[in-house]
Amino acid sequence: MSEIMRPIPFPQLVNWVMGEFKNHSSVFGIRKEKFFRPAKPGTKVSLFGTKISSPIGPAAGPHSQLAQNILAAYLAGSRFMELKTVQIMDGEEMRKAIKRPCINALDEGYNVEWSTELTVAEAQEEYIKAWFLCHVFAKEFGIAENCDFIFNMSAGYNLDGIKSAKIDSFLDKMKNARHTEAWKRCYEYISANMVSFERFTENDLEAISPVVSAGITLSTLHGCPVEEIEKIATHLISEKRLHTYIKCNPTLLGFEAARRLLDEMGYNYISFDDRHFKNDLQFNEAVEMLGRLKELALGEKLDFGVKVSNTFPVQIKRNELPGQEMYMSGRPLFPLSISVAQKLAVAFNGELPISYSGGADLLNLKEILETGILPVTVATTILKPGGYERLTQLAELAEETLAGMENSGTGLVSVDKLNALAESLPGKKAYHKKQKNKEPQTGNREPYGLPCKIFCGICIGVCPNRANVKVEVQGVPQIVHIDCICNECGNCASFCPQNGRPYRDKFTIFSCEEDFADSENPGFLRTNDLYRIRLEDKSILNYRRGEINIPDEWLTLIDTIETKYGYLPV
């Protein structure tokens, strides 16, 4: 198959949402009963001058790259969307730099991704499409009367890149998207099809703000000098007038402290040396820089804080992923990230706002929020079975926790509570390694055919791009794979109980001849009335309606997709 993602046009996305909801009471696999509707609509959190109904969302990464990902996250409970990082290197150049598979979340999380694989222009269009989708279906599905969410940009990685025409234009257009072609297409389509909606009205359409994002989280590469980081942040605050948070790396802890924490918790097999610790931003210089930037943002009447933490670079020693170095996330990142937050909170006496990502999950969310840290974004936990629907539990827990707190969302952090949380972790068995890692399920394996031996649907939930879809053929559930929105991350293969590779083996819908030719997946491509069909034995047939020259079970499957699942991007 092809790893190239080809974003789905806005009309097709709207058709998919409405068709799936009408016929199957779900949207992109998120079941209707898992849609998050705040139990207490009056409970709000203020961030970046906007009130949102939950401080939960996807971290910049695979779940915040395509429009359908972002809507799925919103429906399940996300209200703070940290959009995937953009940088000057994008598109084909970026895709070539990423080895495949690029995600393995079987236990702790590992990835070799970094920024968006789309072009910056495509990324901007996806975010604008998602902005419309969230507004439209929040009202249409009775979730919220008004905008109750934030889109937060993420950009990197150096000053020249941030100030380049490509990224500068992206920032400006995200601050005011009204005159972009993407905005016009979305607006005009919704306006022309208003009769399709029951709750969403012309007044709601007019009320959609063109300010897609007013805030940004800065990501810098390992080894970026403190002077460079400060210049970028100053540019974002003073010149671009953006609420600005700076990502902080676990390397701020120092090599010995990080090594000791992981060893104490059973992760002695995770390999890393002191190279990044020596070359990265040092803690004392970070404190001095953050103090200056905090005062600068205060004078500009903008929010400023830190994002704790960025993913942690470790060495590839057990073939978890291809290459020599990968980024670790998930459970073992939690003690490192919380310890970074603790050090920063102590240094600023709790007066530096902190947003959080790094092993956050249902087990620790309440404790994180009780310290005053928010928003909290996640990635690894929703790459595991259950996927996006885990966000519903997180949003419900966040609502319950914040309802019992005073001064939530003020930016103040309780140093005492954060100290207690950080110091308790080595003694908490839940964060210790419980078993040896299973062998990662990557590499060659035999295809397991059209029908799953036992249908479990795990590969639907763990796909961040919604590229694995359940269909029922004559009452039998099957998995169909959507090629155009898959980047071969490989996460579904890690969790397949049949040792399969759904993104490689399952019946695939192709959107163009280029992708069909660049694949060995069984599946079909439709061009007008001609069907190009690749069977499991790799033979290719050309078929037109009325011709009987393909196996009956394949004809039945294609007919089912086109009649009962006509909203899929065929």
CATH number of the domain encompassing residue 341:
3.20.20.70
Question: Per residue in 214-240, pLDDT tens?
Answer: 999 999 878 899 999 999 999 999 999
Distance CA(535)–CA(155), nearest Å, equals 43
List pLDDT tens digits, range 177-199. Answer: 999 999 999 999 999 999 999 99
Q: What is the pLDDT of residue 537?
A: 87
Same domain, 173 and 266: yes
Does residue 542 form part of some domain?
yes
pLDDT tens by residue, 73-129: 999 999 999 999 999 999 999 999 999 999 999 999 999 998 999 999 999 999 999
**pLDDT for the residue numbered 450:** 60
Average pLDDT over residues 53-57: 96
Same domain for 384 and 346, yes or no, is yes
Shared-domain flag, residues 177 and 298 = yes
Do 236 and 356 lie in a common domain?
A: yes
Name the residue among 245, 253, 223 with its Cα closest to residue 346.
Answer: 253
pLDDT, tens digit, 9 for 90 and up, residues 260-283: 999 999 999 999 999 999 999 999
Residue 550: is its pLDDT beyond 90? no
Point out the least confidently predicted range of 143-147, 434-438, 519-523, 538-542.
434-438
Residues 139 and 21 in one domain: no
* Mean pLDDT confidence for 35-48: 85
- Tell me how far apart the alpha carbons of residues 508 and 249 are, in angstroms, rounded to a whole number: 39
Task: Write the pLDDT tens digit of every residue in 404-426.
Answer: 786 666 789 999 999 999 999 98
- Look at residues 385, 404, 430 and tell me which one is the last residue of a structural domain: 430
Q: Same domain for 366 and 492?
A: no
Number of domains in the chain: 2
Domain stop point among 374, 399, 430: 430
The yes-or-no verdict on residue 442 having pLDDT over 80 is no
Unique residue bearing structure tokens 């001064």 = 407
Domain stops at, among 402, 430, 458? 430
Are 236 and 325 contained in the same domain?
Answer: yes
Report the pLDDT value the prediction gives residue 409, as an integer from 0 to 100: 65
Any domain includes 570: yes
Structural domain span for residue 480: 1-29+445-570
The residue ranking higher by pLDDT, 149 or 453, is 149
Q: Per-residue pLDDT averaged across 132-146, rounded?
A: 96
For the chain, give the mean pLDDT. 93
First to last CA, the chain: 16
The whole-number pLDDT of residue 1 equals 55
Please give the average per-residue pLDDT across 26-54, as a whole number.
Answer: 90
Are residues 422 and 459 both part of a single domain? no
Q: Which has more confidence, 115 or 453?
A: 115
Residue 361 lies in a domain: yes
Confidence at residue 448, expressed as pLDDT on a 0 to 100 scale: 43
Residues 300 and 207 in one domain: yes
In a shared domain, residues 214 and 275:
yes
293: left (phi over 0), alpha (psi -120 to 50) or beta: alpha
Residue 445 — very low, low, confident or very high, per pLDDT cuts 50/70/90?
very low
20 within domain boundaries:
yes
Q: What is the pLDDT of residue 349?
A: 97
Which of 481-514 are b and which e, b meaning 16 or more Cβ less than 10 Å from the residue's Cβ?
bbbbbbbbbbbbbbbbeeebbbbbbbbbbbbeee
Question: Does residue 233 share a domain with residue 334?
Answer: yes
Q: How many residues does the chain have?
A: 570
Residue 244 in any domain: the answer is yes
Is 0.85 surpassed by the pTM of this model? yes
pLDDT of 16 > 50? The answer is yes
Least confident of 63-72, 474-483, 540-549: 540-549
**Domain annotation covers residue 436:** no
Is 438 part of a structural domain of the chain?
no
Is there a single domain that holds both residue 73 and residue 194? yes
- Give the pLDDT mean for 28-42: 90
Does residue 40 belong to any structural domain of this protein?
no
